[in-house]
Structure 1
Amino acid sequence: MKKLTIIVLGLLSIPAFSQIAIGKSAVTAGSNVSLEFYDNADNTKGIVVPWTTTVANNPVAYNATTGVGYRGIQGTVADGTLIFDLSDKKLKYMKSGAWSDLTGSPTFPLTVKDSSNNDVVFTQFNAINSTLQDNAKEVNNAKSAIGTNAATDTTSGILVLTDTNRAMVLPKVANPHLNIINPAPGMMAYDTVKKQLAVYNGTVWSFWKP
């Protein structure tokens, strides 16, 4: 399965842009969009949020030399930050200075697909599979900023949307729980049938509506 994954690894910086379209030639004309994805009716892809943990250096100690393990999210976390928390296998977002859970609890063993569509089996998430890990790590100041304030923004994060009058539009998928085959933990999409936010925690889809 091909899936859209936003990952910034081993980069010092990425140039700032004002509006970005991924999987399509341009953002929707006349819209207040910072980041928008392919949104035709046949879309079967979501985005995968960064895998990290709210628990610093635990339960798998991060080795800065080899890149093995995960060190936990660092520094001040801005409201609106999205992560897939490896410590408890939950997709979370920062709300009013506290982490809010968007998912249920997966059961193990768990099988997912890697980027080559091969099965990768997890017996638990805190034993990071080397096929997916590949000894890759972010440098401390890896960051991509999008928006008119990108050049001066100081928010901590690997992907930051800096506009105050624009927003990101999630990939739109009809029935993502049926049409996204072998989704990765931490995947998100907008369900055009249920009109809800759909998030996947590695075992089940959860649907959220205001």
Structure 2
Amino acid sequence: MNTIKNIITAAVLFMGTLQISGQVAIGKSPTVNPSISLEFGNENRGIILPWVTNTGAVTGAVNGTMVYDLSDHKVKTKYSGGWKDLSVDATGVTVDPNTAADGVVIQNSHDENTNAKVSVGTTQTSDAGILVLEDTDKAMVLPKVASPHLNIINPAPGMMVYDTTAKQLAVFNGTVWSFWKP
């Protein structure tokens, strides 16, 4: 009798969690703002975008997809059917992990699992992506760093943060930071 009661309780708890809207906080206490699906702490760190051989190799990308393009060392976002350059400067540096010459190596040569995907929120699409924020009424809050060009000691190519001093988006291409203000 206790076993049946435990199974029913577990099933009810599991079914109840399916109705909860997903919210994730990384490096901080849980987010309390109901308009946020993903939020980061306030350390001198940023998110590092996926490295791709080139944007032409990215299939199934939807508007808003963001990547670091190894072919020209730029952070790009999918926009109106094309790719918009967020780096501006083309002097970025990355290294093929198989040659391991001077530069920045953060990804290795393991085969990619093209089916890998983490969804935050209510699953609505089958969009390709590693991390897909699914909710249509929530947003991601980037890591917040005051003057990232001064305070992030070893930024990696493809890093992105919100500069709280200048109040703008900052992206790093491996050599220089580019800043975007609305």
Count of residues paired in the alignment: 160
The residue aligned with 2:18 is none
User: Which 5+ residue runs of structure 1 have no aligned equivalent?
Assistant: 1-16, 57-71, 113-118, 123-128
Q: Which has the larger radius of gyration?
A: 2
The residue aligned with 1:140 is 114
What's the offset of the Cα at 1:140?
1.7
Displaced runs of 4+ in structure 1, greater than 4 A? none
Q: TM-score, normalised by structure 1?
A: 0.69
What's the offset of the Cα at 1:139?
1.1
User: Which 5+ residue runs of structure 2 have no aligned equivalent?
Assistant: 1-20
Greater per-residue helix proportion: 2
The residue aligned with 2:90 is 105
Give a deviation string over 1:100-147, Cα, whole Å, max 9, x none.
00011116xx589xxxxxx9723xxxxxx8x64433232121111111
CA distance in 2, matches of 1:157, 1:189: 20
CA distance in 1, matches of 2:90, 2:53: 15
DSSP 3-state at the match of 1:193:
coil
Please provide the CA RMSD for this pair: 2.6
Relative distance call for 1:137 and 1:25 in structure 2 (3 A) is: farther
| Higher relative contact order structure (alpha carbons within 8 Å, sequence separation ≥ 6) | 1
Matched, 1:167 2:139: yes
DSSP 3-state at the match of 2:149:
helix
Matched, 1:87 2:68: no
What's the offset of the Cα at 1:160?
0.4
Relative distance call for 1:143 and 1:174 in structure 2 (3 A) is: same
Q: TM-score, normalised by structure 2?
A: 0.79
Tell me if the contact between 1:111 and 1:120 (Cα under 8 Å) persists in the aligned partners: no
